[in-house]
Amino acid sequence: MKILVIGSGGRDHAIAWKFAQSPRVKHVYVAHGNAGIARTATCVDARSIEDMAAFAEKERIDLTFVGPEKPLSAGIVDLFESKGLAIVGPDKRTSCLESSKCDTKILLRDLGIPVPDFEVFSDPQKAKDYVGQVGYPVVVKADGLAAGKGSLVCDSVEDAREAVRAVMEERIFGDAGARVDVERRLYGRELSFFCFTDGYSVVPMVAAQDYKRAREGDRGKNTGGMGAYSPHPWLDDALVRTIMARVAEPLIHGIREKHGIVYRGILYLGLMLVNESSGIVPYVLEINIRLGDPEAQVILPRLETDLVDICEAILTGRLAQTRLVWDPGYRLCLIAVSGPTKGKKGWYKGYPDRYKIGLPITGLDQIDPRVLVFHSGTETDSNGTWITTGGRVLCLVSRGETLAEARAVALEEMKKISFEGLYFRSDIGLE
- The conformation of residue 151, written as its DSSP 8-state character, comes to E
What pTM value is reported for the model?
0.93
Question: What tens digit of pLDDT does each residue of 111-145 get?
Answer: 999 999 999 999 999 999 999 999 899 999 999 88
Which pLDDT score is estimated for 148?
66
User: 195 and 315 share a domain?
Assistant: yes
Q: Measure Cα distances from 365 to 12, 335, 345, 361, 369 in Å.
A: 21, 17, 34, 10, 9
144 located within any domain = yes
Q: How far apart are CA 182 and CA 168, in angstroms?
A: 12
Which pLDDT score is estimated for 224?
87
* Residue that terminates a domain, selected from 304, 321, 338: 321
Angle between helix 249-259 and helix 101-110 axes, rounded to 10 deg: 90
User: 202 and 305 share a domain?
Assistant: yes
363 located within any domain = yes
The whole domain housing 409 covers 330-423
Structural domains counted in the chain: 4
User: 178 and 214 share a domain?
Assistant: no
Residue ranges of the chain whose pLDDT lies below 70: 147-148
Q: What is the helix (H) or strand (E) element at residue 10, kind and residue range?
A: helix 10-20
157 located within any domain = yes
Question: What tens digit of pLDDT does each residue of 223-261 get?
Answer: 889 999 999 999 999 999 999 999 999 999 999 999 999
127 located within any domain = yes
155 located within any domain = yes
Contact partners, residue 227, CB within 8 Å, separation at least 6: 210, 211, 294, 332, 333, 334, 335, 424, 425, 428, 429
DSSP string across 193-256: EEEEE-SS-EEE---BEEEEEEETTTEEEEEEEEEEEES-SS--HHHHHHHIIIIIHHHHHHHH
User: 193 and 280 share a domain?
Assistant: yes
110 located within any domain = no
CATH number of the structural domain spanning residue 280: 3.30.470.20
220 located within any domain = yes
CATH number of the structural domain spanning residue 46: 3.40.50.20
Which pLDDT score is estimated for 146?
80
User: 178 and 64 share a domain?
Assistant: no
Q: How far apart are CA 26 and CA 24, in angstroms?
A: 7
Which pLDDT score is estimated for 3?
98
8 located within any domain = yes
Give the Cβ contact number of residue 403 at 10 Å. 20
User: 163 and 221 share a domain?
Assistant: no
